[in-house]
Structure 1
Amino acid sequence: MEKNRFKNIPFHKTHTTQEEIDSAIEAIKSGWLTMGPKTVEFEEKFKEYIGSSQAVSLNSATASLHLALKAIGLQRDDEVIVPTNTFVATAEVVTYFDAIPILCDIEESTHNIDVSKIEALITDKTKAIIPVHFAGQPCDMDEIYKIAQKYNLKIIEDSAHAIPSSYKGIKIGALKQTDITCFSFYATKTLSTGEGGMATTNNEIYAKSIKVNRLHGISKDAWDRYTTKGAWHYDIIDNGNKYNTSDINSAIGMVQLKKQDILREKRVNIAQKYIEAFRDNSKIVLPFIKDDRTTSWHLFVIKIENRDDIIEELKSRGIGCSVHFIPIHKHTYYKNRYEYRDEDYPVANRVFEKSLSLPIYPDMSDEEIEFVIENILELVDNV
């Protein structure tokens, strides 16, 4: 291999075709730019795809998590158990209520919350558990449900990575013992509308709460007020937020939604090529997927020594990589406010020090995949 070869391979590139562009243009030409009929249609199609009875669109997964916690009645000084290995939003939304995020260590093999460590964290203030399906692989939900039932806790799934993923044959977002599931449609996600999110649930009361609170606590959807069916009068029935999405985003989302299974197959193909190339290299620890679930392959995370040196060298060769995640307990704000101790999360610390997320976007060419493979194999042996 020529050492000086360079390619421009980003960590992620959203799958966007003329179909998404045309759909967005159609929404713009309709004259309805904010939340409206396209959003309602997207919600209907999304819940049909997932298999839930309710779906409520929002402008981010963060908004979805926030309103999910509001729907279950989270209060000041309540505690919510979350994995430390997650994006900050999972813990951040708990703090919106002056509640306390209680961090749990993770499994070394899956990077998901370690269910064997949850029960020791439960107190009389514990209200909920937020399992995060890391990289798209579902957590051990049956074990989490048993704990939740024992202590009367709510379950909110952070499924930002998990479209489409399944647990024991059921799509994430439709598990009946989960209270609310929260999805992300951010630019890097498997279903992308640029910005966006969705909450699914089988509980009509939760769905109504989220729907009202996504738009200032207004008693009816604002878009309905401006149709021939609507009326000018409205009432504020809760102290809500400005969390609605737009019909432009929803129009893009509907196109992306119908491609989800195809796009996942493309990521599966890339993952299989990585696994085949790296499986015999003792210096590379591959992702581990449990037998009774499927992953969306939102991320492909390997564990290696000298991660920081290797990621810089990959960057110099035009290969974009990332790290998922810097654990919550390491961030200055959270460490100072909640006095998290590094030594309480030994597994997350080890995982963080070695994790490297490789490009796995659907439109990667075989040549680009091979270039990533060749460089990883060279660098783990020489850096």
Structure 2
Amino acid sequence: MPLLQAAFFCLHADESFTSDRLYSVAPCNHVLLSPLLLIAYRTDALFDMSQLPFLPFSKPTIDEATISAVGDVLRSGWITSGPKVQAFEAQLSEYFGGRPVRTFNSGTCTMEIALRIAGIGPGDEVITTPISWVATANVILEVGATPVFADIDPVTRNIDLAQVEAAITPRTKAIIPVYLAGLPLDMPMLYAMANKYNLRIVEDAAQALGSSWDGERIGATGDFVSFSFQANKNITSSEGGCLVLNNAEEARLAEKYRLQGVTRSGFDGLDVDVLGGKFNMTDIAAAIGLGQFAHIEKITAHRQNLARHYFKCFGSDFEEKYGAQLPPPDFENSNWHLFQLVLPERHDGLPARATFMEQMQAQGVGIGYHYPPIHLLSLYRAQGFKEGMYPVAERVGRLIVSLPMFTAMTEADVERAVAAVKAVLKAG
């Protein structure tokens, strides 16, 4: 077949992380006359992979043991906060070196409660990044404080600590750094700044469970550290989160805030001395979390290997040839929650990301984007934020996309995603 390269794919079962048969696409080293055989003749033009099974950008993997454990909880009659929550908190505490850990029904309320424990409220300013899920800034508003944004670093896409220091005023009381895609900040620099200006830190490590800095796990040291167990995170409890605290007093206060401020003493003694909410995790969610958490090391290593394969498949000339920006190739610190590209601004004047996502969808590959700039959302525009205030965040937020990355992915899935990216960018 001159000028044509035949690519052969066959369906196979990947049982590395689950007892279920998770069907995915992998290279086939032989050709059989089988209805499962899929043959794509590829040229330099955009080629059609739409006949392959759809490859989502994220998909949770729940094993049979975890499903069985959830059934046990349902049969036990204790389905709200109970022994499974306690067991999950104990395992998380051990993982973080014995620090107190409390679980919640989201990784949003964890940050709000951290701010409340720190005594932050009206009249105070909290500095954070414009590139995050909107919850990061919303919790600042929830406690009555004022969000202040600092622009991001164009390479790491995390908040630029030099910009943070420039934004500090006498009203600044805390910083909420976000570890986008699982990549932490320079931790010594962050905490040196906090100590210099007497600021509290609420680490938004929603995406960073399993990440580290200089060999030390995120969450093992520092101030408040918040994690999320939402469905597309590296491990999930369906919905949920946890907060790593500094001492028993903070942990007790976190317990009050998560359940209406209630304090109990004896069989019939009940009091409320703080304004709390209904933020407790259920035993159903904790059972899922426990099942997932048992595999955290294997999951992290697998995602790091997938990221390495992404870089191998893109090749050393990808950025120069296609005009898109790869993430920093950090395999020591990041858990590779996401693998993100910043697209070139082209596609004949059409919105670059919308066109790219549409064409990738046509190729059977799912794409996400994380995130649009918070300060340009209507809620924040109404508070005076506008275009031009954080130019790096605005460019990245307009062009960033997340490629498929999940536990059950194979190297063949990575190869398929990369082939689609190159074909779409070349066609555009």
TM-score (norm 2): 0.84
Aligned match of 2:335: 296
Secondary structure at the residue paired with 2:108?
A: helix
- 1:378 matched to 2:414? The reply is no
Decide whether the 8 Å contact of 1:185 with 1:196 is kept in 2.
yes
Displacement of 1:53 in angstroms is 1.5
- 1:85 matched to 2:125? The reply is no
Secondary structure at the residue paired with 1:344?
A: coil
Aligned match of 1:195: 239
**1:288-344 CA distance string (max 9 Å, x none):** 1458x511100000122233311110012221111111011110111112x113212
1:104 & 1:27 partners in 2: Cα distance? 45
Decide whether the 8 Å contact of 2:313 with 2:415 is kept in 1.
no
Structure with more of its chain in strand, by fraction: 2
1:213 & 1:350 partners in 2: Cα distance? 38
1:44 & 1:244 partners in 2: Cα distance? 16
Displacement of 1:5 in angstroms is 2.4
Displacement of 1:203 in angstroms is 2.3
2:211 & 2:410 partners in 1: Cα distance? 24
- 1:351 matched to 2:390? The reply is no
Displacement of 1:217 in angstroms is 0.5
Aligned match of 1:180: 224
Structural mapping, 1:262-281, within 5 Å: 262-279=298-315, 280-281=317-318
Identical aligned residues as a percent: 35
**1:142-189 CA distance string (max 9 Å, x none):** 1111111111100110000001000111111111xx221001000111
Displacement of 1:205 in angstroms is 2.2
Aligned partner of 2:258 among 214, 227, 231: 214
Residues 289 and 102 of structure 1: is their aligned pair in 2 closer, same or farther, counting only changes over 3 Å?
A: farther
Decide whether the 8 Å contact of 1:179 with 1:203 is kept in 2.
no
Secondary structure at the residue paired with 1:57?
A: strand
Secondary structure at the residue paired with 1:77?
A: coil
Decide whether the 8 Å contact of 1:137 with 1:289 is kept in 2.
no
Structural mapping, 1:124-163, within 5 Å: 124-163=170-209
Decide whether the 8 Å contact of 2:372 with 2:398 is kept in 1.
no
Structure with more of its chain in helix, by fraction: 1
2:152 & 2:80 partners in 1: Cα distance? 40
Displacement of 1:204 in angstroms is 2.2
Displacement of 1:52 in angstroms is 4.2
Aligned match of 1:49: 95
**1:353-380 CA distance string (max 9 Å, x none):** 3211101101013332221111111111
Decide whether the 8 Å contact of 1:72 with 1:206 is kept in 2.
no
Aligned partner of 1:260 among 296, 313, 316: 296
- 1:287 matched to 2:327? The reply is yes
2:375 & 2:296 partners in 1: Cα distance? 34
Could you tell me which runs of 5 or more consecutive residues in structure 1 were left unpaired when the two chains were aligned: none
Structural mapping, 1:9-158, within 5 Å: 9-158=55-204
Which ranges of 4 or more aligned residues in structure 1 deviate by more than 6 Å?
none
**1:194-247 CA distance string (max 9 Å, x none):** 100000122222211111110000114xxxx9xxxx624321121111000100
Residue type of the partner of 2:211?
Answer: S
Residue type of the partner of 1:4?
Answer: D
2:209 & 2:100 partners in 1: Cα distance? 16
Residue type of the partner of 1:39?
Answer: V
Decide whether the 8 Å contact of 1:12 with 1:361 is kept in 2.
yes
Decide whether the 8 Å contact of 2:124 with 2:171 is kept in 1.
yes
**1:78-135 CA distance string (max 9 Å, x none):** 1000011111000000001221110110011111110011111111111100110110
Structural mapping, 1:298-337, within 5 Å: 298-305=337-344, 306-337=352-383
Residue type of the partner of 1:201?
Answer: L
Could you tell me which runs of 5 or more consecutive residues in structure 2 were left unpaired when the two chains were aligned: 1-40, 345-351
Decide whether the 8 Å contact of 2:123 with 2:171 is kept in 1.
yes
Secondary structure at the residue paired with 1:61?
A: coil
2:369 & 2:297 partners in 1: Cα distance? 26
TM-score (norm 1): 0.93
Aligned match of 2:13: none
- 1:248 matched to 2:294? The reply is no
Decide whether the 8 Å contact of 1:58 with 1:244 is kept in 2.
yes
Decide whether the 8 Å contact of 1:136 with 1:163 is kept in 2.
yes
Residue type of the partner of 2:292?
Answer: Q
1:289 & 1:219 partners in 2: Cα distance? 48
- 1:361 matched to 2:406? The reply is yes
1:111 & 1:187 partners in 2: Cα distance? 23
Residues 286 and 156 of structure 1: is their aligned pair in 2 closer, same or farther, counting only changes over 3 Å?
A: same
Secondary structure at the residue paired with 1:142?
A: helix
2:149 & 2:61 partners in 1: Cα distance? 34
1:231 & 1:208 partners in 2: Cα distance? 19
Decide whether the 8 Å contact of 1:52 with 1:202 is kept in 2.
no
**1:251-300 CA distance string (max 9 Å, x none):** 11111111011111221121111101113212232111458x51110000
2:256 & 2:329 partners in 1: Cα distance? 38
2:408 & 2:73 partners in 1: Cα distance? 26
